[in-house]
C-alpha cells in the first residue's frame, strides 16, 4: 500500500483492467518527505528496499514522460555507530537527512545560553554499505520545537508549549528525531522550488528536476566541521539554497559519475532480484539498473590499490544556467581527516548534590570530568587551539555494568558565573536565573558499556567554546543511591586534523570549461572505505564537497595463502575506520557496522575463509560473507577467545564479495576504538573428513563400524562418534570443538523443491490464502502434542513460511479457511531471516496429522527451497572436543532408533549426520545348559550352568519338579543364586521325575532348561483303585490350591517340610 501510494504521488494512476499503474502525470509531486524507514542490515542498499526508491526517483525510467521525483528521507535514529542508515534513505538517489541539535529545549535544563549545534546522539550515520556518501545533509531534529500538526493532538505526551522564558508560544511541539529533520529539509526544497519559479517565471519542469534540487541543497549546506559519514555536506541552509535559486550567488557542483560508479556494482544485485513489485512490472529483462542520476558528492567507486578513476564534476553559479568557467582563477584541494592526537584517562563515576541551585532531590547531578584536568592543561590548550574536531570514546567493563549500562554527555562548561563558580557544574534555576554555565555539545543517549561522542566546529575548539570540554556520565547505579561505589571507565580523547589526501589530481575539461576532471590514483591505499572533503573556490564563492572511495582487497595470492586485508586501523586512524566503538544499545540495529569489499580472480576458489582477530578476550564479532548480489554465503557470531572465523562456499568464485562486521560485545577494559585484524584465504577444497562412527562391547574384542540400517549388539554397546582433525591451512578454527549424539524417535522430514513465483501484487498477509501462490511440502505422521520445529532455507533473497494442518486422522481440512493470521507458525517465519525458523506445539483433535508447509516467494525471484520439519525427541549426549561416546545400555531397552550426530566448529560450519534406523541390542536373555541330576538315594543333587552376554547381570533361579513327564510342574525352590540344589525326595512317591530350572536376570529376561527323567522318592505308590474323580492331576491332585499357593511363596527350606507333611498326611 505504501508503494502504491508513492506511485500515485509520483503521477501514476491505477488501471483496473491491467491491474497495474500507468503514468498520467496528473498529480505528480515535486518531492515527498519520508519520516519512516526499514531497520535492516546495511547491505539492504543492494536489494529491492533501496532499488524501489531509486527507481521512483529516476526520470524516464518507469515511463518516457516521467520526470522523476525527489524523495527526502530520514536517515534513521539508529546512531551513534557507523553505517546505520537503512532504506529508503540508503538509496543513492534519495536525499538522506540526518539530525542536528537545536537549543530551545536544552535551555530549560541548562540556561538560555545554548549556542552550539552538533550531531544528535541518535542520528544514523553513514557511510552506505558501498561506501557512497550518506547522509547527504543534516537538519535540526533534536532538542527543538516544531509547529504542532493537526494530528499532534493524538501525541499530547510530546507537547511543550513554547519556551520557558519570554513570551509563551503555543501550538508548538517538542519533537525530535530524523523524522523531524527530513520534513525540515523538505521544507527547504519547497522554498527552493518557489524561488526557482520566480527566477524562471514558471514552475521548474524537466528530467533534471529531482537531481537539480538535490545537488542544490547539498551544495548550499553549512559545514559543521564533522566527517562525511556523520554530516554529509552539513546542515541545510534555507537562505543560501533560496538565494542560489534566485541567482544571488553561490556555487553548486554536479556529476553523474558518482551514481554510475555505484551502479556498476549494483548491476548484479539488480539482475539477481529480477523483478520488483511496484504495482507496475519492473523486471531485469526489460529494465537495466538506472544510470545518470545527478549528485554533488564524489564517489569514486570500488577501486583496487593502484587503479585510477576520474569524475567529471561541473560547477554552476545559479539556475539561470550560468555554467562557470573553471579554466582559470580557481583553487582546489583534497583532504581527509586523520588522528592528530590521542589521549587516554581513567576515572570512576560518581554523583553529587548541586545545592547551589536546587534543593534535594532536584539537586542530584552526575559525575563530571573536565578534559583540561584529565589530559593536562598544556596539551589541552595546545590541541583545542589547533584542531576543530574531537571524539570521545568511553568504555566500561561489560561484566561490571551489565543490565545498568551508563550514558553520557559532552558539555562546554563555563564556571565563570559569579553566583555559581563553585568548581562544579551547575544546572540552571529558571526562578533565580542562576547556573547558566553548562552548554551541551552532544551526548550518547543509548546505554552501553562502550560508546562514542563527536563534536566539531568550523573554527578551532578553543575559539568556539566559552569554557572547557567536560564529560558527564550518568551511571544508573547512583539513581537510587548517590553514595554507591561508582564504576571505573576508560576515556579516549581523539583530536582530528585535516591532512592532504594523496593521489588526487585536478584537470580542466577543454570541451567543457565549467567541468573539473578529478582523478584519483589509489597506489598505496589501504583496504576499506575512505572519506574526506574537497574544497573548490572560484575566488568569490567556496564549496566543500565530500568524497569517498572503497578500496578493494584483491586476493592475488595462491590457495590457502593468508591475505591480511585489515591490520588494525593501519597507518593512521580516520573517523570512519575499521576500528570499532561498539555503541551497543538494546537494539542491535543501533550498533557499529563495517563493510569491506574483496575481489577474487581465481576460478578454482570454491571457498573463502575469513578470520577476524583481536588482542583482548571478551570481544565478540558478527561476521558475514556476501557474494556480489549481497546474498549471505556464511555468517558467524560465535568465536574463540580472540577470533571469529567464517567459511563461505562460492557458487560464482570470480568477482566481488563483501564482508559485513559488527561487534556483539566489547569488553570495555581497554581504550576505544578497538582494533582488529582480518585475514582472508581462498580454498579449492576443504579438508574435512566424515564422522567415524563405531562401537565396542564388553563381551567382544575389537571395534566395529556402524552405519545406516546397521545393528550394534553386545554387552554394553558403547558408540563412538569421532571427527578427525581437518588441519585446514591458516584456519585453525575449522576443527570440531563440540559434538552431540541423539537417539531419537519421531518425524524427521527434509525436502528440496522449486520456488513458485507468485503473481505481482498478491498479498498473502490479508484475506484467504491462495494456495497456487505458494510452493508446498506435506509432512505426515505428526502427533498431537508433538513439538514441531520448522526450518526453511532458500536460494533467493527472501521467503516467508506459513503452515496449516492439511489432514487430521486422514480427513482433509478445508484450506479455504487458511489465512496468515491462523497459520501455525504465526509471525515467526515471516521475518526476512535466512533461513526462516519457527516452532510450535501440535494441538488438534485427533491422533495423527499431516502438516502443509507453504513457502511464499516474497521477493518474486526464482530459486529453490529446502524444508526441514523435525518432531524428534529422545536421549542426547554431548561432549567438548571432536569425540562423543555413549553407552547405549543406558537407553534401557533394545530397539531401533533414529540417530543424529551434530558437530560444531569454531567457524560457522557444522556437520549433521542423520541415520534413519540403527538397531541397538544390549539386553540378552541368560542361557542355561548342562543340567544334571545325581545321587543314588533319596537325596538328589541338581546342577546346571548359566551364561549371559550381560556380564554384570545377576541371576535368580527357581527349581520345579514334575512327575508327569513335564506336563505340569510344581515349585520346589525359589530365590536361589547358586548353580545347584539338593532335593531330599524322602516321603515322595517313587516315580520318574523331571527337574526344570528357570532363571531371571536383572532386567526380567528369562530362560529355562529341563533335565532327563530320573527316579526319586521313597514311598511306594498305592495300588490302583476305581477312580472317583479326576485322576490326571499327578502327585498333587488332591492338594488344596490355597496350600499350593502357600508352597510357591515360601522359602526353600519350608517348601520341603510342607510337602513332606502333606504327603505323610495322605
**Rounded CA separation 78/64 (Å):** 38
CA 715-719-723 angle, 5° bins: 160
What is the arithmetic mean of pLDDT over 394-422?
87
- Measured CA to CA in angstroms, residue 650 lies from 318, 605, 684, 754 at distances of 51, 7, 10, 21
Q: What is the per-residue DSSP string for 47-94?
A: SHHHHHHHHTTSTTSSSTT----EEEEE--S--SSSS---TTTTSTTS
- Whole-angstrom distance, CA of residue 923 vs CA of residue 950: 7
| pLDDT value for 1064 | 30
Task: pLDDT band for 361, please (50, 70, 90 cuts).
Answer: low
Q: Measured between alpha carbons, how far is 631 from 799 in angstroms, rounded to an integer?
A: 13
Nearest to 733, CA basis, from 666, 627, 619, 642:
642
Tell me: domain 553-683, CATH 3.40.30.10, correct?
no
- Whether residue 224 is predicted with pLDDT greater than 80 in this model: the reply is yes
- Residue 139: asked if its preceding bond is cis (omega within 30°), the reply is no
Report pLDDT for 638.
72
C-alpha span between 883 and 738 (Å, rounded): 8
Who has greater pLDDT, 158 or 382? 382
Which of the pair, 832 or 943, is modelled with greater confidence? 943
DSSP state of 151: G
pLDDT in tens, 427-475: 887 777 777 888 999 999 888 899 999 999 999 999 999 999 999 999 9
Say whether 965 sits in a helix, a strand or coil: coil
Is the model's pLDDT at 229 over the cut of 90?
yes
Domain ranges of the chain: 30-326, 336-499, 553-683, 692-745+876-921, 748-871, 927-1023+1032-1065
**Mean pLDDT in residue range 491-498:** 97
* Nearest in space to 54 (alpha carbons), one of 22, 94, 21, 84: 94
Chain CA centroid to CA 220, Å: 39
Greater confidence, 133 or 267? 133
**What backbone phi and psi angles, to 5 degrees, belong to 7?**
-60, -45
Matching CATH number, 30-326, of 3.40.50, 1.10.3470, 1.10.10, 2.30.29 = 3.40.50
Percent of all residues in the chain with a pLDDT value above 70, rounded to a whole number:
89
Average pLDDT (969-981) is: 96
146 against 911, higher pLDDT: 911
Answer yes or no: are the C-beta atoms of 297 and 133 closer than 8 Å. yes
Query: Does 157 score more than 80 pLDDT?
Result: no
User: Residue 391: what pLDDT?
Assistant: 97
CA distance 29 to 12: 11
Q: Which CATH number among 3.40.50, 1.10.10, 2.60.40, 1.25.40 corresponds to the domain 692-745+876-921?
A: 2.60.40
pLDDT over 70 (residue 615): yes
Q: What is the pLDDT of residue 617?
A: 86
Q: Which one is predicted more confidently, 432 or 608? A: 608
Positive or negative CA dihedral for 574, 578, 582, 588?
positive
Share of the chain above pLDDT 90, in %: 66
On the question of pLDDT at 810 being above 80, the answer is yes
Query: Are 446 and 586 a contacting pair, CB within 8 Å?
Result: yes
Report the C-alpha gap between 772 and 570 in whole angstroms.
55
> Which residue reads 524516464 in cell numbers?
60
Q: Is the pLDDT of residue 174 over 60?
A: yes
The per-residue pLDDT for 587 is: 65
Q: pLDDT-based confidence at 1057, cuts 50/70/90?
A: very low
Q: Are 602 and 464 in contact (CB under 8 A)?
A: no
| pLDDT for residue 1055 is more than 50 | no
Q: What is the dihedral of CA 358, 364, 369, 372, to 10 degrees?
A: 0
Phi/psi of residue 588, nearest 5 degrees: -60, -25
Among residues 113, 155, 189, which one has the least CA distance to residue 438?
113
**C-alpha distances in angstroms, 857 versus 12, 346, 626, 670, 801?**
26, 53, 21, 46, 9
pLDDT (average), residues 770-775:
97
Q: How many CB atoms lie within 10 A of CB 461?
A: 24
Residue range 734-769, pLDDT digits in tens: 999 999 999 999 999 999 999 999 987 789 999 999
Residue 359: band (very low, low, confident or very high) from pLDDT cuts 50, 70, 90:
low
Cell of 980: 545347584
Q: Is 840 exposed, middle or buried (0-12, 13-18, 19+ CB in 10 A)?
A: middle
pTM for the predicted model, two decimal places = 0.86
Mean pLDDT, rounded, of the chain? 88
CATH number among 2.60.120.380, 3.40.50.10800, 3.50.50.60, 2.60.40.10, domain 748-871: 2.60.120.380
- Residue 347 Cα distances to 43, 367, 438, 1011, angstroms: 38, 10, 21, 93
Mean per-residue pLDDT, 288-315: 94
pLDDT the model gives residue 789: 97
Kindly indicate the confidence band of residue 333, based on its pLDDT and cuts at 50, 70 and 90: very high
Residues 6+ apart with CB under 8 A from 476: 404, 405, 406, 447
What is the phi/psi pair of residue 241, to 5°?
-65, -45
Mean pLDDT of the region 810-819: 96
* 8 Å CB contact between 791 and 835: yes
Q: What span, in angstroms and rounded, lies between the C-alpha atoms of 1018 and 1010?
A: 23
Angle between the N-to-C axes of helices 209-219 and 178-200, in degrees from 0 to 180, rounded to the nearest 10: 110
Buried b (16+ CB within 10 A) or exposed e, 270-279: bebbbbbbbb
Give the mean model confidence (pLDDT) for residues 269-284. 69
Pick the residue with more confidence: 234 or 330? 234
Q: State how far the alpha carbon of 937 is from the alpha carbons of 411, 941, 1015, in Å.
A: 115, 10, 9
- The answer to whether 97 touches 234, Cβ cutoff 8 Å, is no
Q: What is the mean pLDDT of residues 121-131?
A: 95
Residue with cell 555413549: 886
Average pLDDT for 651-671 = 91
Least confident of 77-81, 86-90, 157-161, 954-958: 157-161
pLDDT-based confidence at residue 131 (cuts at 50, 70, 90): very high
Give the whole-angstrom CA distance, residue 651 versus residue 994. 78
CA dihedral 51, 54, 55, 59 (to 10 degrees): -160
Residue-wise DSSP of 361-408: TTTEEE-EEEHHHHH-HHHHHHHHHH-SEEEEEEEE-HHHHTTS--EE
Q: What is the dihedral of CA 927, 928, 930, 934, to 10 degrees?
A: 170
Q: What is the pLDDT of residues 778-789, one digit of tens each?
A: 999 999 999 999
Beta bridge partners of 751: 867
CATH architecture classification, 336-499: Sandwich (2.60)
Give me the CATH topology for the region 927-1023+1032-1065: Immunoglobulin-like (2.60.40)
Say whether 927-1023+1032-1065 and 692-745+876-921 share the same fold.
Answer: yes
Q: At what angle do helices 1041-1049 and 1052-1065 cross, to 10 degrees?
A: 150
CA dist 429 and 435 (Å) reads 6
Give the confidence band of 567 by pLDDT, cuts at 50, 70, 90. very high
Beta strands in 888-989, from DSSP E residues, in sequence order: 895-905, 910-921, 927-934, 939-947, 956-962, 970-976, 980-984
Q: Which distant-in-sequence residues (6+ apart) come within 8 Å of 786 by Cβ?
A: 746, 747, 841, 842, 871
Mean local confidence (pLDDT), 547-553? 98
Q: Is residue 606 within 8 Å of 559, Cβ to Cβ?
A: no
Amino acid at each position: 500500500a505504501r508503494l502504491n501510494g508513492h506511485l500515485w504521488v509520483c503521477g501514476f494512476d491505477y488501471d483496473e483492467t491491467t491491474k497495474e499503474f500507468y503514468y498520467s502525470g496528473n498529480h505528480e509531486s515535486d518531492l515527498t518527505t519520508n519520516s519512516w524507514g526499514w531497520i535492516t542490515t546495511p547491505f539492504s542498499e543492494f536489494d529491492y528496499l533501496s532499488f524501489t526508491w531509486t527507481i521512483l526517483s529516476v526520470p524516464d525510467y518507469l515511463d518516457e514522460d516521467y520526470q522523476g521525483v525527489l524523495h527526502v528521507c530520514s536517515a534513521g535514529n539508529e546512531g551513534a555507530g557507523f553505517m546505520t542508515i537503512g532504506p529508503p534513505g540508503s538509496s543513492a538517489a534519495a536525499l538522506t537527512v540526518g539530525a542536528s541539535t537545536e537549543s530551545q529545549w536544552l535551555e530549560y535544563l541548562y540556561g538560555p545560553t545554548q549556542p552550539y549545534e552538533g550531531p544528535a546522539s541518535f542520528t544514523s550515520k553513514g557511510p552506505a554499505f558501498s561506501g557512497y556518501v550518506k547522509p547527504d545533509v543534516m537538519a535540526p531534529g533534536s532538542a527543538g520545537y516544531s509547529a504542532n500538526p493537526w494530528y499532534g493532538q493524538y501525541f499530547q505526551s510530546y507537547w511543550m508549549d513554547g519556551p520557558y522564558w519570554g513570551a509563551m508560544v503555543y501550538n508548538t511541539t517538542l519533537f525530535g528525531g530524523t523524522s523531524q529533520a527530513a520534513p525540515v529539509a523538505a521544507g527547504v526544497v519547497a522554498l527552493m522550488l518557489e524561488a526557482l519559479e520566480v527566477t524562471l517565471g514558471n514552475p521548474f519542469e524537466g528530467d533534471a528536476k529531482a537531481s537539480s534540487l538535490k545537488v542544490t541543497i547539498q551544495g548550499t549546506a553549512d559545514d559543521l566541521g564533522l566527517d562525511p559519514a556523520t554530516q554529509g555536506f552539513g546542515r541545510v541552509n534555507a537562505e543560501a539554497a533560496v538565494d542560489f535559486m534566485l541567482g544571488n550567488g553561490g556555487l553548486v557542483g554536479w556529476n553523474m559519475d558518482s551514481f554510475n560508479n555505484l551502479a556498476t556494482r549494483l548491476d548484479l544485485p539488480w539482475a539477481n532480484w529480477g523483478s520488483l513489485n511496484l504495482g507496475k512490472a519492473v523486471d531485469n529483462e526489460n529494465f537495466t539498473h538506472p544510470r545518470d542520476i545527478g549528485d554533488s558528492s564524489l564517489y569514486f567507486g570500488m577501486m583496487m590499490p593502484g587503479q585510477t578513476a576520474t569524475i567529471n564534476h561541473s560547477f554552476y553559479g545559479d539556475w539561470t544556467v550560468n555554467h562557470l568557467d573553471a579554466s582559470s582563477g580557481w583553487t582546489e584541494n583534497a583532504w581527509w581527516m586523520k588522528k592528530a592526537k590521542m589521549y587516554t584517562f581513567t576515572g570512576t563515576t560518581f554523583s553529587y548534590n548541586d545545592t547551589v541551585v536546587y534543593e534535594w532531590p532536584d539537586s542530584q547531578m552526575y559525575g563530571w570530568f573536565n578534559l583540561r584536568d584529565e589530559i593536562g592543561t598544556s596539551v589541552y590548550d595546545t590541541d583545542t587551539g589547533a584542531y576543530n574536531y574531537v571524539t570521545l570514546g568511553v568504555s566500561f567493563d561489560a561484566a561490571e555494568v551489565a543490565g545498568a549500562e551508563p550514558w553520557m554527555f559532552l558539555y562546554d562548561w563555563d564556571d565563570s558565573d559569579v553566583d555559581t563558580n563553585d568548581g562544579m557544574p551547575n544546572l540552571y534555576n529558571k526562578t533565580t536565573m542562576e547556573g547558566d554555565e553548562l552548554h551541551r555539545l552532544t551526548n550518547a543517549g543509548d546505554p552501553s558499556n562502550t560508546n562514542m561522542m563527536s563534536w566539531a566546529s568550523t573554527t578551532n575548539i578553543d575559539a568556539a567554546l566559552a569554557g572547557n570540554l567536560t564529560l558527564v556520565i550518568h551511571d544508573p547505579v547512583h539513581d537510587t543511591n548517590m553514595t554507591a561505589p561508582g564504576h571505573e571507565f576508560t576515556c579516549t580523547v581523539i583530536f582530528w586534523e585535516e591532512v592532504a589526501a594523496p593521489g588526487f589530481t585536478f584537470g580542466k575539461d577543454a570541451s567543457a570549461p565549467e567541468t573539473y576532471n578529478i582523478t584519483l590514483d589509489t597506489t598505496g591505499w589501504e583496504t576499506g572505505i575512505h572519506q574526506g572533503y574537497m574544497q573548490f573556490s572560484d575566488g568569490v564563492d567556496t564549496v566543500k564537497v565530500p568524497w569517498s572511495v572503497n578500496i578493494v582487497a584483491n586476493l592475488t595470492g595462491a590457495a590457502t595463502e593468508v591475505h591480511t586485508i585489515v591490520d588494525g586501523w593501519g597507518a593512521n586512524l580516520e573517523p570512519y575506520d575499521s576500528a570499532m566503538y561498539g555503541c551497543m544499545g538494546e537494539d542491535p540495529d543501533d550498533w557499529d557496522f563495517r563493510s569491506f569489499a574483496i575481489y577474487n580472480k581465481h576460478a578454482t576458489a570454491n571457498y573463502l575463509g575469513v578470520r577476524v582477530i583481536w588482542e583482548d578476550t571478551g570481544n565478540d564479532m558478527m561476521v558475514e560473507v556476501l557474494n556480489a548480489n549481497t546474498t549471505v554465503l556464511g555468517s558467524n557470531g560465535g568465536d574463540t577467545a580472540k577470533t571469529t572465523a567464517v567459511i563461505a562456499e562460492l557458487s560464482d568464485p570470480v568477482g566481488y564479495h563483501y564482508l559485513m562486521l559488527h561487534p556483539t560485545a566489547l569488553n570495555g577494559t581497554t581504550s576505544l576504538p578497538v582494533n582488529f585484524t582480518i585475514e582472508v584465504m581462498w580454498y579449492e577444497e576443504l579438508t574435512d573428513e566424515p564422522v567415524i562412527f563405531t562401537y565396542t562391547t564388553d563381551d567382544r574384542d575389537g571395534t566395529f563400524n556402524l552405519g545406516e540400517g546397521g545393528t550394534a549388539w553386545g554387552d554394553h554397546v558403547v558408540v563412538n562418534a569421532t571427527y578427525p582433525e581437518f588441519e585446514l591451512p591458516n584456519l585453525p578454527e575449522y576443527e570440531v570443538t563440540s559434538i552431540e549424539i541423539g537417539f531419537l524417535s519421531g518425524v524427521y522430514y527434509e525436502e528440496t523443491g522449486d520456488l513458485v513465483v507468485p503473481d505481482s501484487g498478491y498479498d498473502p498477509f490479508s484475506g484467504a490464502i491462495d494456495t497456487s501462490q505458494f510452493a508446498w511440502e506435506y509432512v505426515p505422521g505428526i502427533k498431537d502434542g508433538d513439538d514441531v520445529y520448522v526450518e526453511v532455507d532458500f536460494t533467493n533473497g527472501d521467503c516467508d513460511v506459513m503452515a496449516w494442518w492439511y489432514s487430521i486422522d486422514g480427513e482433509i481440512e478445508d484450506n479455504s479457511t487458511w489465512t496468515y493470521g491462523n497459520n501455525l507458525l504465526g509471525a515467526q517465519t515471516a521475518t526476512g531471516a535466512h533461513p526462516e525458523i519457527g516452532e510450535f506445539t501440535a494441538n488438534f483433535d485427533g491422533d495423527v496429522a499431516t502438516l502443509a508447509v507453504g513457502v511464499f516467494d516474497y521477493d518474486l525471484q526464482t530459486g529453490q527451497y529446502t524444508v526441514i520439519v523435525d518432531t524428534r525427541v529422545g536421549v542426547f549426549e554431548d561432549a567438548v572436543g571432536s569425540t562423543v561416546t555413549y553407552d547405549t545400555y543406558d537407553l534401557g531397552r533394545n530397539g531401533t532408533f533414529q540417530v543424529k550426530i551434530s558437530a560444531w566448529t569454531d567457524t560457522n560450519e557444522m556437520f549433521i549426520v542423520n541415520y534413519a534406523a540403527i538397531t541397538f541390542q544390549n539386553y540378552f536373555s541368560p542361557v542355561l545348559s548342562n543340567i544334571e541330576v545325581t545321587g543314588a538315594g533319596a537325596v538328589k543333587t541338581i546342577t546346571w550352568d548359566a551364561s549371559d552376554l550381560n556380564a554384570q547381570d545377576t541371576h535368580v533361579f527357581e527349581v520345579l519338579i514334575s512327575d508327569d513327564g513335564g506336563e505340569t510342574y510344581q515349585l520346589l525352590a525359589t530365590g536361589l543364586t547358586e548353580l545347584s540344589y539338593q532335593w531330599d525326595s524322602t516321603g515322595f512317591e517313587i516315580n520318574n521325575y523331571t527337574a526344570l530350572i528357570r532363571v531371571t536376570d536383572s532386567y526380567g529376561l528369562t530362560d529355562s532348561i529341563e533335565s532327563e527323567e530320573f527316579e526319586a522318592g521313597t514311598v511306594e505308590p498305592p495300588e490302583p483303585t476305581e477312580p472317583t474323580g479326576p485322576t490326571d492331576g499327578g502327585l498333587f491332585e488332591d492338594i488344596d490350591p490355597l496350600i499350593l499357593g502357600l508352597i510357591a511363596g515360601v522359602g526353600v527350606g519350608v517348601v520341603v517340610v510342607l510337602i513332606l507333611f502333606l504327603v505323610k498326611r495322605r
